[in-house]
Amino acid sequence: MSTLNGKRAEAQQQSRKIKVAILGAGGIAHAMALTLNRMADDPRYTNLVEPYAVAARDGERAADFARQYGLPVSYGSYEEMLADPEADLVYIATPHSLHAEQGEQCLRAGKNILVEKSFTANTAQAERLLATARETGLLCTEAIWTRYMPSRTIIHDLLASGIIGEIRTVSANLGYTITGKARLTDPALAGGALLDVGVYPLNFVDMILEGRPYDRMATAMTPYQTGVDAQSTTTLFYPDTVMAVAYSSMVSISDRDGVVWGTDGHLICRNINDISAVDVYDRDYRLVKHVDMPEQLTGYEYEVASAANAILDGARECPEAPHTDTLRIMRLMDDIRGQWGLRFPFEQE
Catalytic residues: 117
Residues 74/54, Cβ–Cβ less than 8 Å: yes
Q: Nearest 5°: phi and psi at 277?
A: -160, 160
24 dihedral zone (left: phi>0; alpha: psi -120 to 50; beta): left
C-alpha–C-alpha distance, residues 68 and 203, integer Å: 33
The number of C-alpha atoms within 13 Å of 328 and in the hemisphere containing its C-beta is 16
Q: Bridge-partner residues for 217, per DSSP?
A: 236
DSSP secondary structure string, 249-288?
ESBS-----EEEEESSEEEEEE-TTS--EEEEEETT--EE
Query: How many angstroms separate the most distant Cα atoms in the chain?
Result: 62
